[in-house]
Amino acid sequence: MQRKYPNLCKPIKIGNVNFRNRMFSAPMGGTDITVDCTIGRASTAFYELRAKGGAAAVTISECIVHPQTDGSHAYHLDLQTVGSLSSFTYTADAISRHGSIASVELSHSGQYAGTYLTDKDKKYGLAQWGPSAGVRPDGLEVKELTEKMIAEIVAAYGNCAGLAKRAGFKMVMVHGGHGWLINQFLSPYFNHRTDKYGGSLENRVRFAQEVLDSVRKVVGHGFPIEFRMSGSELFEGGYDLVVGVEIAKLLESRVDLLHVSAGTYQRGFSTTHPSMFLPHGSNVYLAAEIKKHVSVPVATLGGLNDPAMMEEIIATGKADVVEMARALLADHDLPRKVMSNRDEDIVKCLRCFTCMAERAATSTRRCTVNPLIGRELDGTEVVPSSRQCKVLVAGGGPGGLEAAITAAKRGHKVILCEQSDQLGGILKGEQAIPFKYEMYELGVTLEKLARDAGVEIRLNTSVTKEYVEKENVDALIIAVGSEPLVPAIPGLAGDNVVVVNDYYMEKDKVGNEVVVFGGGLAGCEAAIHLAQEGKIVHLVEMRMELAPDANIRHRPILLEEIEKNKIHVHTGYKGLRVTEEGVVCADEAGEEHLVPGTTVICALGQRARRKVVEDLVDCAPYVAQIGDCVFPSTITIAVYQGYHAALDI
């Protein structure tokens, strides 16, 4: 067949191993780590899903090579830990049986021991070791590794690699980036040693070279070693791309694939994992420059989810391999869809950080747009029903669409009714905000998938009790969503007010000085967008903090953007009335202030459409309520509930 993306789909040989395409699953922490730090069954299923989806390689993250000097709660691979070798063997087998190459990331977090602990207080009982003594930004003391300890860690990398090969892994990745131990040795910011491991670049690279030599000695010639490095640390005091090129040149003879990332985990999270506020592929330039100076294949990554962009990267020689993490959570079948010319069916990552926030908060995984993530053991196949039912879905937002798609896949006759003239629900409003455009695209993609699955879509159709009874359905899924909360504040219904949900239809009404009334997630993101357009923006919030409804990964980035875009923030301000000059507010002392603006964006939250729900709850033998009509929440909840409501029919 004629591949739409021939370069992306082309096999590649690395070492003596053949990879079926150029799309690799980058390291991602699993969904469960046992008390003994082995791979739990849920994590095995988590990694297997990416292999089923067609990724050429799937890398397990992170395997701690020397627990004695690294206290992070991550995977251990040794012969002392009960169940360690077997858990890795079962996982390698689960990946390999789908034609994907199983790889494991060998790691040591050095002075950042404790990073992966959900209970952060426990890190104070750990030993933090680094190339040099010092004090971490959080006040923890860092001890300097002795040369004897360095030799033990170097040997541990080799021992661990040998066990990985024994367990059935066909590649290993040595983690030398993102502020972890090898990166700490490479970095002049962290490394102040005066012995053979410090000072000149040649000395700072020595530890990495010894680690790679240790691994090579054990795994042998032709067994692929992938080295992950930061092309630039991207902060003052760290090394830059010029030095990154030299590091790559000093290491290339010892590796089979250079995996070029960016930044450090602790000093640039949203750069290492590009946020929605950054362009896709914002770190590709690092790999592209390093590739000019080395002879081994180079991999790139960082917010990549568009096959056309990835094809261009490979076709123009910027990299030989593209790696994805979040994009393969959002759609684990992305590589298979690319290989079969079904790229229009890809459900794209929103870069909302739900996946990483959930891992940090609960040590599990969840994805906004993929209800399987973290729940793979519950079943990853939609099984046809033994009896075809007639199903009516009321509401065409993300939850309703996911329910309709899933019910149709089960063989049911599905009708989806949407009261407006366009599907997507609350996602429609995101089309006017460039950094959230993929949320709008989610609705478009889900609509296509619903139509392709045979769902009958009826627009401009409100679902009433009489309508359901006339259709005589077996199942009703109520997904009528929520509506904007517009309290009875004087002037809030004026011509100078735009409800945030309607901004995409009324953006021409917005003047050059704007008051965003409401400092939750929606209001903050609207404020950032308007400021990026060059408008003077005031953000008013009754509470003392902004965006408490944002997840713990996205919120700090959001607040940085508010500061960077010079948005005028007014917290502790209660809105009293809206005038042509702006919003009159009262501070905590009751004193009134005018927050100026010719346009007011109302972003005061959402209210569930409970009246509609209450009229429909007794209209069919099986009735489910999902998403915002239950309680205004997130796309994540709506999609998850929609998926399972359809499975329950």
116 has pLDDT over 60: no
Residue written as tokens 């003391």? 141
Q: What are the E-state strand segments in 491-598?
A: 497-499, 513-517, 536-541, 568-571, 574-579, 582-586, 592-596
569 has pLDDT over 80: yes
Q: Minimal CA–CA distance to 430: which of 520, 529, 538, 349?
A: 529
Reported as a pLDDT band with limits 50, 70 and 90, residue 73 is confident
Residue written as tokens 């004193």? 591
Query: What would the pLDDT profile of 374-384 be if each residue is shown by its tens digit?
Result: 999 999 999 99
Chosen domain end from 378, 409, 429: 378
Task: Kindly state the average pLDDT of the residues 348-370.
Answer: 93
Domain match, 612 and 574 both: no
Task: Kindly state the average pLDDT of the residues 459-465.
Answer: 98
Task: Kindly state the average pLDDT of the residues 550-564.
Answer: 97
Domain match, 477 and 558 both: no
Q: Minimal CA–CA distance to 499: which of 478, 482, 477?
A: 482
Task: Kindly state the average pLDDT of the residues 122-140.
Answer: 81
122 has pLDDT over 70: no
Tell me what pLDDT residue 139 has. 85
Count of domains in the chain? 3
Output the CA torsion sign for 543, 545, 547, 548. Answer: negative
Round to whole Å and give the CA distance between 168 and 161: 11
Give the range among 31-45, 49-63, 184-198, 512-526 with minimum mean pLDDT. 31-45
Confirm whether 279 is domain-assigned: yes
Domain match, 131 and 192 both: yes
Domain match, 600 and 614 both: no
Query: What would the pLDDT profile of 75-91 be if each residue is shown by its tens digit?
Result: 999 988 899 999 999 99
Task: Phi first, then psi: give them for residue 645, nearest 5 degrees.
Answer: -60, -40
Reported as a pLDDT band with limits 50, 70 and 90, residue 608 is very high
Domain match, 344 and 402 both: no
Tell me what pLDDT residue 3 has. 97
Domain match, 599 and 504 both: yes
HEC readout, 152-188:
HHHHHHHHHHHHHHHHCCCEEEEEECECCHHHHHHCC
Round to whole Å and give the CA distance between 264 and 292: 23
Tell me what pLDDT residue 474 has. 98
Task: Phi first, then psi: give them for residue 613, nearest 5 degrees.
Answer: -60, -45
Task: Kindly state the average pLDDT of the residues 158-164.
Answer: 98
Find all residues with CB under 8 Å of 473, minimum gap 6, and list them. Answer: 389, 390, 391, 392, 415, 620
Domain match, 542 and 639 both: no
Round to whole Å and give the CA distance between 164 and 91: 11
478 has pLDDT over 60: yes
Domain match, 577 and 620 both: no
Confirm whether 1 is domain-assigned: no
Residue written as tokens 């367990």? 167
Task: Kindly state the average pLDDT of the residues 348-359.
Answer: 95
Confirm whether 406 is domain-assigned: yes
Contact, 267 vs 179, CB < 8 A?
yes
Angle of helix 147-167 relative to helix 206-219, nearest 10 degrees?
30
Tell me what pLDDT residue 363 has. 82
Confirm whether 490 is domain-assigned: no
Radius of gyration of the chain (CA): 26
Tell me what pLDDT residue 410 has. 98
* More confident position, 211 or 29: 211
Task: Phi first, then psi: give them for residue 148, nearest 5 degrees.
Answer: -65, -45
Round to whole Å and give the CA distance between 52 and 46: 10
Read off the CATH number of the domain in which 399 is found: 3.40.50.720
Tell me what pLDDT residue 637 has. 97
Tell me what pLDDT residue 266 has. 65
Domain match, 448 and 358 both: no
Domain match, 623 and 526 both: no
Round to whole Å and give the CA distance between 437 and 415: 27
Confirm whether 425 is domain-assigned: yes
Query: What would the pLDDT profile of 256-291 be if each residue is shown by its tens digit?
Result: 999 999 998 666 788 999 999 999 999 999 999 999
How many C-beta neighbours within 10 Å does residue 594 have? 12
Tell me what pLDDT residue 124 has. 60
562 has pLDDT over 80: yes
Distance of CA 104 to the CA centre of its chain: 20
Confirm whether 488 is domain-assigned: no
Tell me what pLDDT residue 595 has. 98
Tell me what pLDDT residue 310 has. 98
Task: Kindly state the average pLDDT of the residues 410-423.
Answer: 98
118 has pLDDT over 90: no
Read off the CATH number of the domain in which 597 is found: 3.50.50.60
Residue 498 CB burial class (10 angstroms; 0-12, 13-18, ≥19)? buried
- Range(s) of the domain holding residue 274: 6-378
Task: Phi first, then psi: give them for residue 117, nearest 5 degrees.
Answer: -75, 130
Contact, 160 vs 78, CB < 8 A?
yes
Reported as a pLDDT band with limits 50, 70 and 90, residue 121 is low
Task: Kindly state the average pLDDT of the residues 31-55.
Answer: 94
Query: What would the pLDDT profile of 290-342 be if each residue is shown by its tens digit?
Result: 999 999 999 999 999 999 999 999 999 999 999 999 999 999 999 999 999 99
Report the b/e string of 381-418 with b at 16+ CB within 10 A. ebeeeeeebebbbbbbbbbbbbbbbbbbbbbbbbbbbb
Round to whole Å and give the CA distance between 492 and 484: 12
Query: What would the pLDDT profile of 614-646 be if each residue is shown by its tens digit?
Result: 999 999 999 999 999 999 999 999 999 999 999
226 has pLDDT over 70: yes
Tell me what pLDDT residue 85 has. 97
Residue written as tokens 């460039």? 434
Reported as a pLDDT band with limits 50, 70 and 90, residue 186 is very high
Tell me what pLDDT residue 117 has. 59
How many Cα atoms occupy the beta-carbon half-sphere of 7 within 13 Å?
16
Mean pLDDT of the residues in the chain = 95
Read off the CATH number of the domain in which 212 is found: 3.20.20.70
Chosen domain end from 589, 604, 619: 604
Chosen domain end from 378, 413, 447: 378
Length of the chain (residues)? 649
Q: Minimal CA–CA distance to 531: which of 541, 520, 521, 523?
A: 523
Report the b/e string of 623-634 with b at 16+ CB within 10 A. bbbbbbbbebbb
Tell me what pLDDT residue 120 has. 55
Domain match, 461 and 503 both: no
Confirm whether 80 is domain-assigned: yes
Confirm whether 57 is domain-assigned: yes
* More confident position, 356 or 121: 356
Domain match, 446 and 577 both: no
